[in-house]
Each structure stands twice: as structure tokens, then as C-alpha cells.
């Protein structure tokens, strides 16, 4: 039985890892990877801000997997032939599979506004972006579009290496969808106090320039900028499976609780696929590393034959942004509402921390905290266990 994995990111590498761990013959695994060695996007901001070598981003287990004898093709999968059960690679070669795992990840979304094709527009998404930003010298003016987790970590890393940074966010609050209003307001005040310029409720209308970026036009005003970094979200990278009959929802691959797509023996995980929310049981798009790894493990189990269904995901997020600790476990108020619940929120506030519990029918379904001192202690773990006890 041959298993072919398309994509050597987190989902792909950890599918291979768990297969090997559960006893699958390493030599029967082939990873087709456009990028190699595999790295963790979770470390891009740290490596940038601390001016370290990109070696720090590499995922340590790839050497172990190579030593065990898995096969890696450093190349790009071009087509999948489901009747012949083979993958055709760019350049002409092909490879037969019994099980196929699609972990092609995502691609950064860039809003269709005027000027986005000028030089010095970029994203903060992969190792190429990191390499570009590592070359920055001198006090450049950088506009970061989007105040989500990626935008804010990028902004604070860029500020640390000496750039003058302005963040633009369309929504009224920063970290929309991650944390709710009382927390995001306090975090914004804190970050502004640290010298980050943040414009919320501000629509970027155009990137100004001739060949290169010269400025950003937002809500009628023009601010000068040398580089524009888009952190405006992720979309699934599923061009490869278009037209082969795999069911998708708005371009995202639908998978069952074993990680299998609508076609037998073809699995998918990570930023190209949907996942299941533990609390509501609903299918959601959560492009996060631990979601990719969760399904990688489920898929590996099912490929080796020990049938395993996931109960779903409880999001567990931590980020350090400019010295503030952001924690989110379970659902936020907004996400819960978007999933059809009618939650309420209870918050506690001190000088050093603001924390909120999201409650549905008297039971906790989420917890969010932002801390402003060195202490990271909070009650997230309680809510994490409560959710697992209540909903499993």
C-alpha cells in the first residue's frame, strides 16, 4: 500500500510522522513538496524580529523521517488522475498511490484594490516573505493591512527591527474573530501606547505609486509607505483538485470525521480543508497549525486501519504581541454567534489582565484573556477541561 502526500507543510509532514509512528512502512510513503525543507510559519515573526537564521523555522522531525526512509520529491504536483490512482508532477513524472493525502495548505488572500501589483507589495505568509523582510535596512515606513493574529505579530516584529509601522483594519476592532470587544479595545490601547499606529474601521482604498509603492490611501487620507504587507486572511489552495469531483464548500475541501474527502482513499487536512468544531459539531474553516496536525493524526490512524473519528476541535490559541499575552480557548462570542448559538460574555478586569468567559445555557464554551505583565497565568485550562467534559 503506497501513500502519497501532496504538500510538505505542517499537515503533510505530520501525516508522514504519524504514519511512521503507527507502524506504516516508511518506504511506502512519498511526500511531494514544493517547499523543502519543511518549516513552521509559526516562527516567521520571531525569526524576523530577533534577526536569526531561517534554520530556526525548520521543523525538526524532517531529518528523522528521512532517516527512517520516507521518500520526498521536491517538486509540484500538477494533476490527480483518480481512475488510474496516480499523481502527475510538473516536469512529466508520475506516481501511483493507494491512499492520497492532500495537504496543499492555503494561499494568502489579497483584496482586489488598485495598486496591489506595484513592487514592494507583499504578504507575510511564507519563507520567501521572511527572506525579503530580513533584507530590510534602515527606517522604512511599512503599512500592514489587516490586524488579525498574522498582521499584528508581523507589525510588532517589523517595529522591533526598526521600521515605522502603521496597521490598517477594516473592522471596528483589532483581532476580529479571535477575541471580543472589551479585550480588543484594551489591547489596542496597549499597543498604541507602545508606539504602533493602528487605524481600525479604516478601509484601504488604493495602494499609491508608479512602479513601487509610495503610499496607502485609506478612508480618504494618504499616508506615505515604502512597503505594504497584506495580512488579509488565508484562502484554501485547492486549484489542484478542481474538476476531479472532490466535494468542496466555497473552495474548501469537505472531509468527514476520519479526514476522508468525498472520494474514497483520498484524504485532506490543514488550510485546504474544513474541520469540525467540537462544541457545535459544525464544519468550519480554521486555518491553524494545530488543526492541520490534529487531522494529520486522525488520517494516519485511518490509513493504517485503526478506524478513528475525530470529535472535533476546541481552538487553543496563544500569541505574544508586543509583550501582551493573548489567550483564546474554545469559542469567542462572535464565532459562537456565527455558529448559531446565543451566548453571553462575562468579563473580569484588573490592571494587568482582562479575561472573559463565553457562556451558553449556563455552560462555558469559551475563554479569552489578554495579559499585560510577565505573568501568563489564567483560567483557560479550566474552560478547556469543562468543554471537553461537557461536550464529549
Partner 1 sequence: MDKYILDIDIEKCNACMRCVFACSLARSGVIDERQAMIKIIVEKGIVIDIAVCRHCDPAPCVNVCEFDALRVEDGRVVLDQSRCTTCKACISVCPFGAIRESYGGELVKCDLCGGDPACVRVCPTGAIKYVPAHMVRTRRISSVAKTIYEYLEKIGGR
Ligand X SMILES: Cc1cc2nc3c(=O)[nH]c(=O)nc-3n(C[C@H](O)[C@H](O)[C@H](O)COP(=O)(O)OP(=O)(O)OC[C@H]3O[C@@H](n4cnc5c(N)ncnc54)[C@H](O)[C@@H]3O)c2cc1C
Q: How far is the CB of 198 from partner 1 (least distance, A)?
A: 22
Say if residue 37 is preceded by a cis peptide, omega within 30 of 0.
yes
Residue 42 near partner 1 by CB under 8 A: yes
Q: Which is nearer to ligand X, 33 or 336 (CB)?
A: 33
Q: How far is 83 from 87, CA to CA, in rounded Å?
A: 11
* DSSP H or E segment with residue 137: none
Residue 387, C-alpha cell as written in the block: 468543554
Taking Cα atoms as reference points, which of 300, 339, 293, 298 lies closest to residue 316?
Answer: 293
Q: Give, in degrees to the nearest 5, the angle at Cα 102 between 100 and 27.
A: 45
CB 295 within 8 A of CB 253: no
Residue 143, C-alpha cell as written in the block: 503599512
User: Exactly one of 25, 28, 35, 359 binds ligand X (CB under 6 A); which one?
Assistant: 35
User: Exposure of 258 by Cβ count < 10 A (0-12 exposed, 13-18 middle, 19+ buried)?
Assistant: middle
User: Exactly one of 2, 25, 28, 34 binds ligand X (CB under 6 A); which one?
Assistant: 34
CB 304 within 8 A of CB 23: yes
Residues 50-79 that bind partner 1 (CB under 8 A): 50, 52, 56-57, 59-61, 64
DSSP label of 233:
-
Q: Which is nearer to ligand X, 8 or 366 (CB)?
A: 8
Q: How far is the CB of 349 from ligand X (least distance, A)?
A: 26
- Return the range that interacts with ligand X (CB under 6 A); candidates 37-45, 257-265, 329-337, 348-356: 37-45
Q: How far is 104 from 76, CA to CA, in rounded Å?
A: 10
The item of ligand X, partner 1, none sharing an interface with residue 376, based on CB under 5 to 8 Å by kind, is partner 1
The item of ligand X, partner 1, none sharing an interface with residue 228, based on CB under 5 to 8 Å by kind, is none
DSSP label of 348:
E
Residues 244-283 that bind ligand X (CB under 6 A): 270-272
- Return the range that interacts with partner 1 (CB under 8 A); candidates 98-106, 121-129, 161-169, 378-386: 378-386
User: Exactly one of 57, 99, 104, 280 binds ligand X (CB under 6 A); which one?
Assistant: 104
Q: How far is the CB of 362 from ligand X (least distance, A)?
A: 30
Q: How far is the CB of 42 from partner 1 (least distance, A)?
A: 4
Residues 287-316 that bind partner 1 (CB under 8 A): 288-290, 293-294, 296-297, 316
**Cβ-based neighbours of 174, under 8 Å, separated by 6 or more:** 147, 152, 167, 184, 187, 188, 191, 198, 200
Q: How far is the CB of 9 from ligand X (least distance, A)?
A: 2
User: Exactly one of 4, 16, 24, 41 binds ligand X (CB under 6 A); which one?
Assistant: 41
Task: For residue 218, give Cα distances in angstroms to 204, 229, 303.
Answer: 4, 14, 50
Tell me the Ramachandran region of residue 313: left when phi exceeds 0, alpha when psi lies from -120 to 50, beta otherwise: beta
The item of partner 1, ligand X, none sharing an interface with residue 59, based on CB under 5 to 8 Å by kind, is partner 1
Q: How far is the CB of 154 from ligand X (least distance, A)?
A: 7
Residue identified by cell 462544541 is: 279
Binding site for partner 1 (CB under 8 A): 10, 14, 17-18, 21, 40, 42-43, 45-47, 50, 52, 56-57, 59-61, 64, 288-290, 293-294, 296-297, 316-320, 327-329, 373-377, 380-382, 384-386, 389
Binding site for ligand X (CB under 6 A): 6-12, 32-35, 41-42, 44, 76-77, 103-106, 124-125, 150, 237, 240, 270-272, 287-290, 292
Amino acid at each position: 500500500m503506497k501513500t502519497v502526500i501532496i504538500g510538505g507543510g505542517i499537515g503533510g509532514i505530520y501525516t508522514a510522522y504519524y504514519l511512521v509512528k503507527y507502524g506504516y512502512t516508511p518506504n511506502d510513503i512519498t511526500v511531494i513538496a514544493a517547499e523543502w525543507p519543511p518549516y513552521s510559519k509559526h516562527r516567521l515573526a520571531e525569526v524576523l524580529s530577533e534577526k536569526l537564521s531561517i534554520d530556526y523555522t525548520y521543523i525538526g522531525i524532517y531529518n528523522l523521517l528521512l532517516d527512517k526512509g520516507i521518500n520526498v520529491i521536491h517538486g509540484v504536483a500538477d494533476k490527480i488522475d483518480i481512475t488510474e490512482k496516480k499523481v502527475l508532477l510538473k516536469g512529466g513524472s508520475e506516481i501511483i498511490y493507494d491512499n492520497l493525502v492532500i495537504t496543499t495548505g492555503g494561499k494568502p488572500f489579497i483584496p482586489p484594490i488598485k495598486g496591489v501589483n506595484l513592487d514592494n507589495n507583499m504578504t507575510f505568509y511564507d519563507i520567501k516573505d521572511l527572506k525579503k523582510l530580513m533584507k530590510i535596512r534602515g527606517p522604512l515606513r511599512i503599512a500592514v493591512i489587516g490586524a488579525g493574529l498574522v498582521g499584528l505579530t508581523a507589525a510588532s516584529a517589523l517595529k522591533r527591527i526598526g521600521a515605522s509601522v502603521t496597521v490598517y483594519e477594516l473592522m471596528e476592532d483589532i483581532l476580529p474573530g479571535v477575541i471580543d470587544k472589551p479585550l480588543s479595545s484594551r489591547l489596542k490601547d496597549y499597543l498604541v501606547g507602545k508606539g504602533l499606529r493602528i487605524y481600525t474601521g479604516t478601509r484601504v482604498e488604493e495602494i499609491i505609486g508608479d512602479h513601487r509603492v509610495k503610499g496607502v490611501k485609506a478612508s480618504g487620507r494618504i499616508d506615505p509607505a515604502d512597503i505594504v504587507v497584506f495580512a488579509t486572511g488565508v484562502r484554501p489552495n485547492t486549484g489542484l483538485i478542481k474538476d476531479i469531483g472532490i466535494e468542496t464548500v466555497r473552495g474548501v475541501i469537505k472531509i468527514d470525521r476520519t479526514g476522508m474527502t468525498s472520494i474514497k482513499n483520498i484524504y485532506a487536512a490543514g488550510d485546504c480543508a474544513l474541520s469540525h468544531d467540537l462544541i457545535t459539531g459544525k464544519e468550519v474553516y480554521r486555518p491553524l497549525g494545530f488543526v492541520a496536525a490534529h487531522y494529520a493524526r486522525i488520517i494516519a490512524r485511518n490509513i493504517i486501519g485503526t478506524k478513528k473519528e475525530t470529535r472535533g476541535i476546541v481552538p487553543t490559541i496563544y500569541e505574544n504581541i508586543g509583550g501582551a499575552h493573548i489567550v483564546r480557548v474554545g469559542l469567542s462570542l462572535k464565532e459562537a454567534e456565527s455558529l448559531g448559538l446565543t451566548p453571553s460574555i462575562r468579563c473580569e478586569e484588573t490592571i494587568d489582565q482582562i479575561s472573559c468567559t463565553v457562556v451558553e445555557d449556563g455552560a462555558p464554551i469559551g475563554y479569552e484573556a489578554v495579559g499585560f505583565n510577565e505573568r501568563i497565568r489564567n483560567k483557560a485550562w479550566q474552560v478547556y477541561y469543562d468543554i471537553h467534559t461537557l461536550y464529549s
